[in-house]
Amino acid sequence: MSKLKKLTQYRLFLPLLCLALVLLVNLITTPDFFAISVRDGMLYGYIIDVINRASELVILAVGMTLMVAASGGTDISVGAVMAVAAAVVCNVLSGGQQSVNEYSNPYLLGILAGIAVAALCGCFNGFLVAKLKIQPMIATLILFTAGRGIAQLITRGQITYVRVDQYKVLGSSIKGLPLPVPFFMAMLVVIICVLILKRTALGLCIESVGINAKSSRLVGLNSSRIIFLTYLFGGILAGIAGLVASSRIYSADANNIGLNMELDAILSVALGGNSLGGGKFSLMGSVIGAYTIQALTTTLYAMHVSSDQVPVYKAIVVVIIVSLQSPQLKKGISKYMPGKKAVSRNEVA
């Protein structure tokens, strides 16, 4: 019995369990879900598809994890920032035209501009949250609503196309790589983050600040700078995700890029076993959570749920997960467990 308990205490147990469950359901609805075929040195199959499409979400989830950990709040503007970044990249590359077949400006310039604007959005959020101490949900609500409007303005209300082969690279497969490029982009982001968090004290600092900002300040940590950094970072990562998303469709669609991804990102973090109130975090947990969400979405599509309807199921899953995290629920359940002594009523904090 204690071996089972030890297993459940393992940090990544819950996320892995959820992933396993979702994959199981996938297998049931699509018997050849795990079938992988190889063609020209590239892998194909349902599961490859899931891994591919989850890439933007993985990138967002990494950023979201850090923002949640440091500030206990969530950034709901990430989807909108993706759209803004995509709009900037495409418009720089198209030189302001609606559709081009070759770059009007250098590729690198376009990318840097997009990431820079995304970073600016991150700074905006970070300033409101870290310096003005505004609740993260409210602070990011501003860009959540204004963001797509800004993206629309940049693209002048139309979808901007960049029909250049090189542009599609980040969103598609290339010869020599067994998996599509987005996957590698996601992995690159994860690896760089893990390195930064583990090789520097940043991971420890973020956790410390998230757990107790006052104590952290007194031991010499600059809470406000650290929180600001996480939002800046979150913005940059949203920019990268926007770039990847845009590359897939070689265009900037201000209405649809990153749509509803904020919920997915939050869900990934929660599924990863991270507390939405901040503090200790597990990046790998969020990554696993992201793949789980993508697998869930795939299941839903396979069951002929339209993309407008998918959010219903995700909402239900979010509610279940956060409810399970709620100590009130645990207390309520333990009352009904036979043989367990009633927890001492302690209404007074």
Q: Does 261 bind another protein (CB under 8 A)?
A: no
205: contact with another protein by CB under 8 A = yes
Q: 28 burial class (0-12, 13-18, 19+ CB within 10 angstroms)? A: exposed
DSSP 279: S
Q: Could you tell me if 112 and 122 are in contact, meaning their C-beta atoms sit under 8 angstroms apart?
A: no
CB nearer to another protein: pick between 165 and 347:
347
Alpha helices (runs of H) in 10-54, residue ranges in sequence order: 13-29, 46-53
Question: Judged by CB under 8 A, which of 62, 93, 201, 250 binds another protein?
Answer: 201
Site for another protein contains 303 (CB under 8 A): no
Out of 51, 238, 266, 283, name the contact with another protein by CB under 8 A: 266
Does 120 participate in binding another protein (rule CB under 8 A)? no
Query: Taking the complex as a whole, how short is the minimal distance between the CB of residue 82 and another protein, in angstroms?
Result: 17
* Contact string 12-41 vs another protein (x = CB under 8 A): ------------------------------
133 sits in the region (left: phi over 0; alpha: psi -120 to 50; else beta) called left
Residue whose C-alpha is closest to residue 236's, from 122, 76, 323: 122
Q: Which residue of 24, 191, 204, 303 would you call a contact of another protein, by CB under 8 A?
A: 204
Q: Give the chain's end-to-end CA distance (angstroms, integer).
A: 34
Selected binder of another protein within 106, 315, 333, 340 (CB under 8 A): 315
DSSP 134: -
Quick note: the x/- pattern for another protein over 316-345, rule CB under 8 A, is x-xx--xx--xxxx--------------xx
> Which lies closer to another protein via its Cβ, residue 172 or residue 325?
325
DSSP reduced 3-state for 39: strand
Strand-pairing partners, residue 251, are 161
Question: What is the enclosing helix (H) or strand (E) of 295?
Answer: helix 283-302
Residue 211's closest CA among 291, 125, 275?
A: 275
- State the minimum distance, in angstroms, from the CB of residue 89 to another protein: 20
Count of positions (residues) in the chain: 349
Candidate ranges 44-52, 107-115, 238-246, 259-267; the one touching another protein (CB under 8 A) = 259-267
Nearer to another protein, 23 or 150 (CB): 150
Among 52, 208, 246, 274, indicate the residue that binds another protein (CB under 8 A): 208
Q: Taking contact as CB under 8 A, which single stretch among the options 29-37, 54-62, 184-192, 309-317 is the one that binds another protein? A: 309-317
**Residue of the chain from 69, 202, 245, 293 that contacts another protein (CB under 8 A):** 202
Cα separation, 170 vs 107, in Å, equals 12
Strands (E) across 51-118 are located at 99-100
Binding segment (CB under 8 A) for another protein, from list 10-18, 48-56, 184-192, 193-201: 193-201
Per CB under 8 A, the segment of 14-22, 42-50, 110-118, 205-213 that binds another protein is 205-213
Question: Residue 74, interface with another protein (CB under 8 A)?
Answer: yes
Q: Which of residues 216-255 bind another protein (CB under 8 A)?
A: 216-222
As measured in angstroms, the least distance from the Cβ of 283 to another protein is: 17
Question: What are the C-alpha distances in Å from 218 to residues 66, 131, 207, 212, 221?
Answer: 22, 18, 15, 10, 7
Nearest residue to 71 (alpha-carbon basis) of 221, 218, 278, 265: 278
- Can you tell me which of 29, 101, 158, 200 binds another protein, judged by CB under 8 A? 200
Q: How many CB atoms are closer than 10 A to CB 37?
A: 10
Residues 139-158 that bind another protein (CB under 8 A): 139, 141-146, 149-150, 152-153, 157
Q: Is 180 left (phi over 0), alpha (psi -120 to 50) or beta?
A: beta
